[in-house]
């Protein structure tokens, strides 16, 4: 099977995604979830004319002349409105958020007035109608304000609450089973032999799963045997995983058994090699209802592939219309880069923000896909398309900000 482009690989991954069902949850639990249905406001906001400032509710015609004295007939605070009606040459002491009394059409700011007992003196006149938030200034009952597929952040949650929705219908979180593979791996904190290394990819991928709105399910580490791998795959099925992510063993070496083990369980292979660096050996397929992504074992390869393919897949399963959005942005190269070969490159780079212009991205000298420290320190990935010509320091490039 020949190498396919990153763009084609992403299209195939998203095209194979199965939209998950929905569930209704309390709004308190909805941050990061994706709406399954449009959200229509149940009320008008504000529901009444409200004071935008502390001061006095008055009639604009009564305060046209500086020095005018008005009789204070009551008080209005947020949640405690004035029930009467304002008459000529009268004022109501009012606080921000309180309903504007009937008969009033202007708020006289408290710093423009002087209180003397039950009288308030106008020290500066106000334009009629000032400092009032009129009914429906923000939105009206029946307004469709949030679309299906919208991923709820802190701002849209505030809007949903103001619309009077105590519960929201959202797509179910994809359950993502994560299976690390390799006899060389031990868990962090465990004793390691001289020929073993500490596993880290499963933690990176789990964090990205959560960031995309999924629910990670850790299956542990499977050794390099068909029995161990099959046991891990069966565990993913038992967990009713929507996606199985394997880590390592995706290539074609004598000890790379993941693809064969998945095939023995009945996986339909979509593709397994992409024209990219890092991350060429990536398995994509389906095993029954479960999507399969077999990520490379090198930490940087695993991380880059998870960002480019796994996170969009999770969002696509939740109906996010922006799942395939272009994650790149413009930047300036901080050093020369040489001509690229046939694979699309993602260069770990230092990133310095320039308040007066584009950020400056400087690729690190060594780009080995095993180097976790360089990946942790990087601020961006510089994207180099296949066969890109050499570029000089100061020229524009495209980056994925980390």
Q: Domains in the chain, ordered, with CATH?
A: 6-21+173-317 (3.40.980.10), 25-45+141-171 (3.90.105.10), 50-133 (2.170.190.11), 328-401 (2.40.340.10)
For residue 11, pLDDT beyond 70: yes
What does the block give as tokens for 352?
A: 């310095």
Whether the CB-CB separation of 75 and 93 falls below 8 Å is answered with yes
pLDDT, one tens digit per residue, over 39-86 is: 999 999 999 999 999 999 999 999 999 999 999 999 999 999 999 999
The span from the CA of 319 to the CA of 138, in Å, is: 28
Query: From the centroid of its chain, how far is CA 214?
Result: 12
For residue 279, pLDDT beyond 80: yes
pLDDT of residue 252: 64
Terminal-to-terminal C-alpha distance of the chain = 32
Q: What is the mean pLDDT of residues 10-24?
A: 96
Q: How confident is the model at residue 255 (pLDDT cuts 50, 70, 90)?
A: low
Q: What is the mean pLDDT of the chain?
A: 96
- The three state secondary structure string of the chain is CCCECHHHHHHHHHHCCCCCCEEEEEHHHCCCCEECCCEECCCCECCCCEECCCEEEECHHHHCCCCCEEEEEEEEECCECCCCECCCCEEEEECCCCECCECCCEEEEHHHEEEECCEEEECCCCCCCCCEECCCCCECCCCEEECCCCECCHHHHHHHHHCCCCEEEEECCCEEEEEEECCCEECCCCCCCCCCEECCHHHHHHHHHHHCCCEEEEEEEECCCHHHHHHHHHHHHHCCCCEEEEECCCCCCCCCCHHHHHHHCCCEEEEEEECEECCCEEEEEEECCEEEEEECCCHHHHHHHHHHHHHHHHHHHCCCCCCCCCCEEEEEECCCECCCCCCEEEEEEEEECCCCCCCEEEECCCCCCCCHHHHHHCCEEEEECCCCCCECCCCEEEEEEC
pLDDT, one tens digit per residue, over 301-336 is: 999 999 999 999 999 999 999 999 999 999 999 999
pLDDT, one tens digit per residue, over 128-169 is: 999 999 999 999 999 999 999 999 999 999 999 999 999 999
* Residue reference for tokens 């038992």: 238
Q: State whether the Cα torsion 21-166-47-133 is positive or negative.
A: negative
C-alpha to C-alpha distances, 117 to 28, 120, 121, nearest whole angstrom: 46, 8, 11
Q: What is the mean pLDDT of residues 384-398?
A: 97
pLDDT, one tens digit per residue, over 203-234 is: 999 999 999 999 999 999 999 999 999 999 99
The span from the CA of 246 to the CA of 297, in Å, is: 9
The span from the CA of 113 to the CA of 123, in Å, is: 5
| Pick from 193, 58, 202, 63: nearest CA to 132 | 58
% of the chain beyond a pLDDT of 90: 96
């Amino acid at each position: 099977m020949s190498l396919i482009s990153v763009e084609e690989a992403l299209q195939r991954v998203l095209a194979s995604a199965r939209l998950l069902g929905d569930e209704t949850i309390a709004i308190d639990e909805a941050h990061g979830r994706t709406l399954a249905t449009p959200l229509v406001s149940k009320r008008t906001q504000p529901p009444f004319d409200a004071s935008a400032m502390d001061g006095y509710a008055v009639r604009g015609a009564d305060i046209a002349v500086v020095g005018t004295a008005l009789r204070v007939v009551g008080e209005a605070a947020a949640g405690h409105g004035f029930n009467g009606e304002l008459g000529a040459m009268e004022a109501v002491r009012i606080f921000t958020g309180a309903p504007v009394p009937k008969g009033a059409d202007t708020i006289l700011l408290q710093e423009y007035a002087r209180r003397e007992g039950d009288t308030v003196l106008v020290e500066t006149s106000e334009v009629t109608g000032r400092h009032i938030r009129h009914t429906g200034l923000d939105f009206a009952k029946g307004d469709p304000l949030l679309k299906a597929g919208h991923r709820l952040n802190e701002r849209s949650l505030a809007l949903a609450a103001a619309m009077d929705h105590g519960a929201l219908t959202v797509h179910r979180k994809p359950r993502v089973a994560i299976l690390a593979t390799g006899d060389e791996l031990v868990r962090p904190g465990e004793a390691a032999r001289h020929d073993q290394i500490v596993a880290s990819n499963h933690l990176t991928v789990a964090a990205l799963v959560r960031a995309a709105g999924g629910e990670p399910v850790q299956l542990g580490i499977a050794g390099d045997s068909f029995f161990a791998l099959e046991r891990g795959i069966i565990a993913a099925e038992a967990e009713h995983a929507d996606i199985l992510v394997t880590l390592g063993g995706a290539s074609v070496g004598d000890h790379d058994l993941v693809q064969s083990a998945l095939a023995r369980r009945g996986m339909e292979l979509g593709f397994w090699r992409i024209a990219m660096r890092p991350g060429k050996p990536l398995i994509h397929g389906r095993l029954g209802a479960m999507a399969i992504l077999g990520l490379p074992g090198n930490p940087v390869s695993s991380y880059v592939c998870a960002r480019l393919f796994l996170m969009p897949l999770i969002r696509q399963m939740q109906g996010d219309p922006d799942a395939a959005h272009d994650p790149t942005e413009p930047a300036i190269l901080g050093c020369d880069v040489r001509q690229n070969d046939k694979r699309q490159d993602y260069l770990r780079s230092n990133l310095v923000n320039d308040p007066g212009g584009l950020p400056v991205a400087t690729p690190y000298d060594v780009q080995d896909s095993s180097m976790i420290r360089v990946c942790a320190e990087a601020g961006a990935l510089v994207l180099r398309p296949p066969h890109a010509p050499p570029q000089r320091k100061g020229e524009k490039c495209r980056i994925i900000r980390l």
